[in-house]
Chains A and B, each alone.
Chain A
Amino acid sequence: MKARFVASLALVAALVAVSTAAARTDSPTRASASKITVWLQVDAQSGWPELVSSTNSAFQKAHPGVSVDVQYQTWPDHLGKFDATLAGGNVPDVIEMGNTEMTKYMAAGAFANLSPDKGSFANSRSWLQGLAASATYNGKLYGVPYYAGSRVVTYRTDLYKKIKAKAPKSLAQFTSIAKKLRARNGKKSFSPVYIAGTDWYFAMSFVYDYGGTIATFSHGKWHGALTSSKARAGLAAYKRFFNVASRASRTGTEDRPQPYDVFAQGGAASIVGPAWFSCCTGKKYKSVTNQFVMPGHRAGQSMPGFLGGSDLAVPAGANDKALAKDWIRIFTSTDGEKTLQAKGNIPNATNLLGNSVNERAAKRSWFVPTAKNWVNVENGNVLRTMLARILTGKDSIKEATSTASDNITLTLNRP
């Protein structure tokens, strides 16, 4: 009896907790002039909480009586939540957006035009081209670059030492290193370079390295461009490299499992991905973890990497846009960006760039087509499907690129 009572009490408590938690996340309190709501990704919460709190205190010093409610979001579901606030009319005052997510929302008029204020943001003259472009639509600025990140190779120095290899200077060198690593390790599941089959960020780097591109814009229309001979050459090189280097699933994605988990379990000599992967290579291999810039097919030249990053935007329906802009100004000040840099990120302006592997990799980079429907190509997994079909041999490169390219043309030109 007593156990039942305790159990039911616990159940009631749990229900209450769940319902209040749901109430809290589902209906963010409407910001008034005495409060601004800021949506940042959890990366800020785990990576640089001190920057957030110092920004808040500096902001509150400038605006006494105004509180800041920072709500941390996660990448997979923040857009769905943002859509819900757009429908409900209780949008946050500041929102962090991934650079590939910006265009669709800018085109739909979700954000306030920041062009008149551009000069008031720190280092705005030397913002990273890729990031500033992702926040610009029809010549108007709708977001402030926050930080960027490039993709590099994280590797185990002990294994490379055993075959007397150094950081490779060309794709051919890297391929022969992979072959040697493979020969020394008989385990079937061991990957000299772990690459998830449908990691399109990495695969498209080959396309750009060989001079190809995903889509071009001309005569007011988008054209899928993966059928070009250069793009196909890049994909052929990707397939060759994958077959030599990776034992990962040909249809797998780069988040399941996380490449650094495979690395930490001893399943890979190298992994490709964001520079912060070095965080999580495991206790056992921490001391033998190092990174280099992915080499391209021309010796001495790096392979263009995908430049990921975030922008900060002010929703058009925000309560107090002036306060929101002020918060962003403080957060992306030179000091703020230097803090981000110290955490291993790429700061938002060229004059702040250092010489870390992350920053060196950013010098040759590519970015997705800035079409308002691009995110539909991403969400529709057009490129992932293409890569899976190429790697599993279900389609030839010619067939797979034709299908994907037609699909891209169709999707990007939809009204």
Chain B
Amino acid sequence: MASSHVPSEAALAAEAAPRLRRRRPLTWSRVLRGSVPYWLILPVLATVGAILGYPLYSLVRLSFQRYGLFELIQHHGVWVGLSNFGSVLHDPVFWHTLVRTVIFTVANVGLTMVIGTLIALLLVQVSSVIRVLLTTGLVLVWAMPPVVAVQVWLWMTNYENGVVNYILTKLHVGDYMQHDWYASTFSMLSLVTALIVWGAIPFVVVTVYAGLSQVPGELVEAAEIDGARPFRVFKDVTVPILKPIFLILTSLSIIWDFGVFTQPFLLIGQSRIDTSNYVMGTYLYEQGYFFHDFGRGAAISILMLLMVALLSVVYVRKMVQFDEVR
């Protein structure tokens, strides 16, 4: 942020220049020269418009149409106004799914943030050899594609000969041989949570660890001299300094976990997914693609988009506030 003074001075100078020039008569060449910045950002705007704007427009249009397999073949939807939204909002399955997804998201984000922060704090304390080993392990986890991770998870929790079942039984936790991890919604979604948290922790650890290196040693020392215990130091020194980082990580995690699809879809498996274990991602996919109701699917995704957008507004406002404070 310290360097922000330099460009702002330059910007001031740039702003001042046209103000002086404006008194002179406008010529084509001057207009052309003045519009150069706009021409320069035009390709970016056009690209963003094409890859984000058009699909979004199509999605909105689709959500107002009846668009099933028949319409897909005809390449022509039937305008139905708000009836897709009405049918979704009157569907109890939607509300159950929404509540389930919110709880699921809170659990996932909470666990990811807490465990990630704890490991980051641990990284500061351990010797450099251990730190390198831990970081390597975390990066490996991060590098593993979700599809592969799901296969490993499935193998470990296999009903017939799962490694987890075997280990829990050997540790005398109970008789877990032939324990069915997929028998109840809670157990199923807990597995999905474990998988997602496991995969998301590295990002949090690396970011928080980087943030921790920004905490001035003098402040910590001063607090310690004043008699603060480690937890107090963390709460009153570290956390306030890391607040922007926590905010960014939490917001991003919420956005990711709220719409997560790959892990629940693959781990639960198409043949087990039903109304009792939907999360928003799988609900949307089933309604849109499996039941060939693309209009309804589009309506659900717009509703999801609105919810995530609302969260993003909160997040962006907070970020702006932080910048102003600084």
Which of A32-40, A105-113, A283-291 is found at the contact surface with chain B?
Answer: A105-113
CB of A319, distance to nearest CB on chain B (Å): 16
Q: Is B236 interfacial (CB 8 A cutoff)?
A: no
- A87-B72, A376-B291, A392-B183 as given contacts; A189 in contact with B271, CB under 8 Å: no
Q: Is A278 interfacial (CB 8 A cutoff)?
A: no
Bound-complex Cα distance A76 to B178 (A): 27
**A256 engages B269 (CB within 8 Å):** yes
**B183 engages A257 (CB within 8 Å):** no
Q: Is A156 interfacial (CB 8 A cutoff)?
A: no
CB of B70, distance to nearest CB on chain A (Å): 4
Which of B121-129, B196-204, B272-280 is found at the contact surface with chain A?
Answer: B272-280
CB of A104, distance to nearest CB on chain B (Å): 6
Among B271, B275, B286, max chain A CB count under 10 A is at: B271
Q: Is B154 interfacial (CB 8 A cutoff)?
A: yes
* Residues from chain B with Cβ under 8 Å of A381 in the complex: 271-274
**B292 engages A188 (CB within 8 Å):** no
A-B contact count (CB 8 A): 86
**B159 engages A83 (CB within 8 Å):** no
* Secondary structure call for the B interface: loop
Bound-complex Cα distance A382 to B275 (A): 9
Chain B residue nearest in CB terms to A315: B73
CB of A103, distance to nearest CB on chain B (Å): 11
Bitwise, B266-290 to A at CB < 8 A (1) or not (0) is 0001111111100000000010011
* Residues from chain B with Cβ under 8 Å of A107 in the complex: 70
Q: Is A385 interfacial (CB 8 A cutoff)?
A: yes
Q: Is A296 interfacial (CB 8 A cutoff)?
A: no
Q: Is A80 interfacial (CB 8 A cutoff)?
A: yes
**A250 engages B291 (CB within 8 Å):** no
* Residues from chain B with Cβ under 8 Å of A253 in the complex: 269, 271-272
**B160 engages A262 (CB within 8 Å):** yes
Bitwise, A189-225 to B at CB < 8 A (1) or not (0) is 1000000001000000000000000000000000000
Bound-complex Cα distance A188 to B175 (A): 11
Q: Is B295 interfacial (CB 8 A cutoff)?
A: no
Q: Is B116 interfacial (CB 8 A cutoff)?
A: no
CB of B268, distance to nearest CB on chain A (Å): 10
**A80 engages B159 (CB within 8 Å):** no
Q: Is B68 interfacial (CB 8 A cutoff)?
A: yes
Interface residues on B, range: 20 to 34
**B180 engages A250 (CB within 8 Å):** yes
**A86 engages B160 (CB within 8 Å):** no
**B270 engages A249 (CB within 8 Å):** no
Q: Is A379 interfacial (CB 8 A cutoff)?
A: yes
Partner of A83, one of B69, B154, B160, B274: B69
* Residues from chain B with Cβ under 8 Å of A80 in the complex: 289
**B158 engages A257 (CB within 8 Å):** yes
**A251 engages B70 (CB within 8 Å):** no
Among A248, A376, A379, max chain B CB count under 10 A is at: A379
* Residues from chain A with Cβ under 8 Å of B289 in the complex: 80, 83
Q: Is A380 interfacial (CB 8 A cutoff)?
A: yes
Bound-complex Cα distance A336 to B303 (A): 52
**A380 engages B286 (CB within 8 Å):** yes
* Residues from chain B with Cβ under 8 Å of A168 in the complex: none
Q: Is A316 interfacial (CB 8 A cutoff)?
A: yes
**A109 engages B160 (CB within 8 Å):** no
Give residues of chain A (62-87) contacting chain B, Cβ–Cβ below 8 Å.
76, 80, 83, 86-87
**A109 engages B73 (CB within 8 Å):** yes
Q: Is B21 interfacial (CB 8 A cutoff)?
A: no
Give residues of chain A (169-196) contacting chain B, Cβ–Cβ below 8 Å.
188-189
Chain B residue nearest in CB terms to A200: B271
Bound-complex Cα distance A247 to B177 (A): 11
Q: Is B182 interfacial (CB 8 A cutoff)?
A: yes
* Residues from chain B with Cβ under 8 Å of A376 in the complex: 290-291
Chain B residue nearest in CB terms to A389: B276
**B178 engages A86 (CB within 8 Å):** no
Bitwise, B155-199 to A at CB < 8 A (1) or not (0) is 000111100000000000000011010110000000000000000
Bitwise, A367-378 to B at CB < 8 A (1) or not (0) is 000000000100
Bound-complex Cα distance A110 to B75 (A): 12
* Residues from chain A with Cβ under 8 Å of B272 in the complex: 198, 251, 253, 381, 384
Bound-complex Cα distance A382 to B271 (A): 10
CB of B289, distance to nearest CB on chain A (Å): 6
Residues of B within 8 A of A (CB): 68-70, 72-75, 154, 158-161, 177-178, 180, 182-183, 269-276, 286, 289-292
Residues of A within 8 A of B (CB): 76, 80, 83, 86-87, 89, 104-105, 107-110, 188-189, 198, 247-253, 255-257, 262, 267, 316-317, 376, 379-382, 384-385, 388, 392
Beyond A249-B183, A385-B274, 14 extra complex contacts between A and B, CB < 8 Å:
A83-B72, A83-B292, A86-B69, A86-B73, A108-B70, A189-B178, A248-B159, A252-B180, A252-B182, A253-B272, A255-B271, A256-B271, A379-B286, A379-B291
21 cross-chain CB contacts under 8 A: A76-B270, A83-B289, A104-B69, A108-B72, A108-B73, A109-B74, A188-B177, A189-B161, A189-B178, A247-B178, A249-B182, A256-B154, A256-B269, A256-B271, A257-B160, A262-B160, A317-B73, A379-B270, A380-B291, A384-B272, A385-B276
The 5 closest A-B pairs by CB, nearest first: A108-B69, A249-B159, A253-B271, A108-B70, A379-B290
